[in-house]
Amino acid sequence: MVESNFLGMATAIQNPTNLQTIQEDDQSLPSFRSPPHNFEAEKALLGAIFANNNAYDRVSGYLRPEHFADPIHGDIYGAISKLLERGQIADPITLRTFFEQDGSLADVGGTRYLAEIAGSMVNVINAAEYGRLIYDLHLKRHLIELGEQVVNRAYSPEVDDNAMKQIENAEQSLYDLATTGEIEGGFQDFKSSVVSAIEMAEIAHKRDGQLSGVATGMRDLDQIMGGLHPSDLVILAGRPSMGKTALATNIAFNAAYDYKVETDDQGNQRVTDGAVVGFFSLEMSAEQLAARILSEQAEIASEKMRRGTLSNDEFDKLVVASQQLHKLPIFIDDTPAMSVSMLRTRARRLKRNEGLGLIVVDYLQLMEGTTRNDNRVQEISEITRGLKTLAKELDVPVLALSQLSRAVEQREDKRPLLSDLRESGTIEQDADVVTFIYREAYYLERGEPVQRAEESADKHADRYSHWEGRIEEVRHHAEVIIGKQRHGPTGTAKLYFDGTFTRFGDLDTQHTESY
């Protein structure tokens, strides 16, 4: 550890006699480059707090005892924190009782060192600047340590520890280091919050669809939800084969297709509609996902593409559709069993390079927690919290797909409920919006009437005819049930579903979809 290596020299550095002895004893030591530190700034900050305890409030939000390069200064700062949190005064007199029985100050003059620190005070007004300097130097020391770890790990002969994994771990470590201090956080005045809310309302007012979030492209769904809002975690849940992935790809396509950017007089760019989409496909490969979108837009059955039974005209149609789609800002990552930290790293990179505006995760239960846990509920809790944190950090909506438990199959009315979510407690708690996809035709097709022993042929024919008629009525009908929405009402959006092309759209009396 770089910091621990040089911190042990702090006492020797403060005592020139000891340092001179070290230098005289071994002239063969290589030149030593001391990690960045500023003991004078540390003493000046502590002295400022001694002079006026209110100075502590200017740095207490982010500065911790371990951020001090000199461990003695860190101990003194920790003792100050304890006294002030109890509502007591912190000065050399009150701190004396902390250190009289403690030998940590013995090498620097004992409790007299507290008086020396008090005399080091330059100006109370500069306390915040001293605190930021101390924290900045702490980060630099850990950057050096992180750099050494990256180098040492790169030299490691471990076969499973490949370069890309090391890069992702290094990015995650850098992110963790950048977010530990909260130096830029804190309160903002209500005026600023109101201005932000007005700006969001203005954007919605100027849009054709009058939405403040990313439009899904489904009229009725957007009317209820107002689009997918930045910083929201939106759950789309359903039983297998209900069309979760199909609906997610439709939404992703619509958002990318509508993507528009305008540039103001100062050259600043602003997204006016749609979004750059990052699609994390843990179930399907990138090629399969792209084939689905091609099938939807070219109106060619995906099974014909898979089997290679396309006619020449259909193939030409497919080529034209691919030429129109290849410029869409959709980025697919099909890495299996992805962890939250890995997803966060890649999403931040996409945000930085391409201006990410929407994240889709297919699907939640295929992700892994940062640490393997035998308790799956706790692991899912970590994943949903991580996705919600990511949505807030990047200020983009995160649409995460989720499986439903089998409990829904046991009920006569098979429309999903919040309690049907797997590990429902934590998913429902962390999500801003929970939606369910339901297609009655899915269950009707699997409930073909069978003639009973006591049933006449005519009665069975009537039942069968009624069953066929009902299937025909609802074959292209789908429902998206909004079971929870923090910012708006719950309800049900009716959609049109075309199973041949796995495509969702707006439902009207003519059963036509608008794209």
Structure tokens at 276: 């750059």
Are 217 and 414 contacting, i.e. CB atoms less than 8 angstroms apart?
no
Which pLDDT belongs to residue 206? 59
pLDDT at 379: 80
Instruction: Please give the residue that has the higher pLDDT: either 181 or 262.
Output: 262
Domain contains 508: no
Q: Report the run of H or E that residue 399 belongs to, with start and end.
A: strand 398-403
Nearest to 358 by CA among 502, 234, 202, 207: 234
Residue 274 or 27, more confident: 274
Task: Flag whether pLDDT at 326 surpasses 90.
Answer: no
* Domain shared by 6 and 83, yes or no: yes
Domain count, the chain: 2
- Paired with 235 in beta bridges are 400, 434
Same domain for 331 and 240, yes or no, is yes
Between the CA of residue 117 and those of 121, 273, 482, what are the distances in Å? 7, 58, 61
The 10s digit of each residue's pLDDT in 94-150 is 887 777 766 666 666 667 788 888 887 777 778 888 888 988 898 889 888 888 888
| Residues 172, 210 within the same domain | no
Residue 448 forms part of a structural domain:
no
What pLDDT is stored for residue 322 in this prediction? Answer: 79
In this predicted model, what pLDDT tens digit does every residue of 244-270 receive, in sequence order? 888 998 899 888 888 888 877 777 777
Q: What is the pLDDT of residue 511?
A: 46
For residue 201, is pLDDT > 70? no
Residues 119 and 216 in one domain: no
Give the mean model confidence (pLDDT) for residues 41-54. 88
Do 219 and 363 belong together in one domain?
Answer: yes
Let me know: does 72 contact 116? Beta carbons within 8 Å: no
- Classify residue 430 as exposed, middle or buried by CB count within 10 Å of its CB (0-12, 13-18, 19+): buried
Q: What is the C-alpha to C-alpha distance for residues 120 and 126, in angstroms, rounded to an integer?
A: 13
Looking at the domain assignment, is residue 285 inside a domain?
A: yes
Residue 184 lies in a domain: no
**Which of the two residues, 293 and 22, has the higher pLDDT score?**
293
Region 44-65 average pLDDT: 86
**Separation of alpha carbons 452 and 443, rounded Å:** 20
* 225, part of any domain: yes
Reported confidence tier of residue 23, pLDDT bands at 50, 70, 90 = very low
- Give just the sign of the alpha carbon dihedral 150, 153, 155, 161: negative
Both 20 and 157 in one domain: the answer is yes
β-pair type (433-438, 477-485): antiparallel
Q: What is the pLDDT of residues 500-511, one digit of tens each?
A: 777 888 877 454
- Enclosing domain of residue 394: 199-436
Q: How far apart are CA 448 and CA 463, in angstroms?
A: 10
* Stretch 423-430: mean pLDDT: 73
289 and 252, same structural domain? yes
Higher pLDDT, 185 or 468: 468
pLDDT at position 31 is: 56
Predicted confidence at residue 397, as pLDDT, reads 92
Mean pLDDT of all residues in the chain? 78
Residue after which a domain boundary falls, among 378, 410, 436: 436
From the number of C-beta atoms within 10 Å of its C-beta (0-12, 13-18, 19+), residue 469 rates as exposed
Last residue of a domain, one of 436, 465, 482: 436
Give the CA distances from residue 390 to residues 280, 384, 395, 417, 441, in Å, rounded to whole numbers and listed in that order.
14, 10, 8, 26, 36
Please, what's the b/e burial string for 211-247 (b: 16 or more CB within 10 A of its CB; e: otherwise)?
bbbbbbbbbbbbebbbbbbbbbbbbbbbbeebbbbbb
Which percentage of the chain shows pLDDT scores above 90? Answer: 5
Residues 207 and 121 in one domain: no
Specify the length of the chain in residues.
Answer: 515
Read off the pLDDT of each residue in 459-464 and give the average, rounded to a whole number.
Answer: 72
Give per-residue pLDDT as tens, 435-449. 999 888 888 777 666
Look at residue 53 in the predicted model and tell me its pLDDT.
87
Q: Would you say 401 and 362 are in contact if contact means Cβ atoms under 8 Å apart? A: yes
Tell me the C-alpha distance between 41 and 133, whole Å.
8
pLDDT (tens digit per residue) in 347-398? 888 888 888 989 999 878 888 776 565 677 778 888 888 889 889 888 899 9
If asked whether residues 212 and 166 sit together in one domain, one would say no
User: Residue holding tokens 């860190």?
Assistant: 74
Q: What is the pLDDT of residue 236?
A: 92
424 band by pLDDT with thresholds 50, 70 and 90:
low
pLDDT of residue 17 exceeding 50, the answer is: no
Q: Pick from 377, 408, 436: which residue ends a domain?
A: 436
Looking at residue 360, its pLDDT comes to 93
Q: Is the pLDDT of residue 56 over 90?
A: no
Burial level of 192, CB count in 10 A (0-12/13-18/19+)?
exposed
For residues 30 and 140, membership in a common domain is answered with yes
pLDDT in the model for residue 153: 85
Give the span between the Cα atoms of 416 and 484, in whole angstroms.
12
Shared domain check, 203 and 115 = no
Residue 479 lies in a domain: no
Q: Give residue 420's identity as a one-letter amino acid code.
A: D
8 A C-beta contact, residue 373 and residue 291: no
pLDDT confidence bin for 10, thresholds 50/70/90: very low
| Average pLDDT value for residue range 43-51 | 88
Residue 346 lies in a domain: yes
- Answer whether 216's CB lies under 8 Å from 227's CB: yes
In this predicted model, what pLDDT tens digit does every residue of 67-109 receive, in sequence order? 898 888 888 888 888 888 888 888 888 887 777 766 666 666 6
- 120: CATH: 1.10.860.10
Q: Please choose, from the candidates 259, 439, 282, the residue with its C-alpha nearest in 3D space to the C-alpha of residue 360.
A: 282
Which CATH number does the domain housing residue 355 bear?
3.40.50.300
Rounded to an integer, the average pLDDT of 451-471 is 72
> Are 161 and 223 in the same domain?
no
As given in the structure block, the two tokens for residue 43 are 């003493």
In a domain, 454, yes or no: no
pLDDT at 234: 92
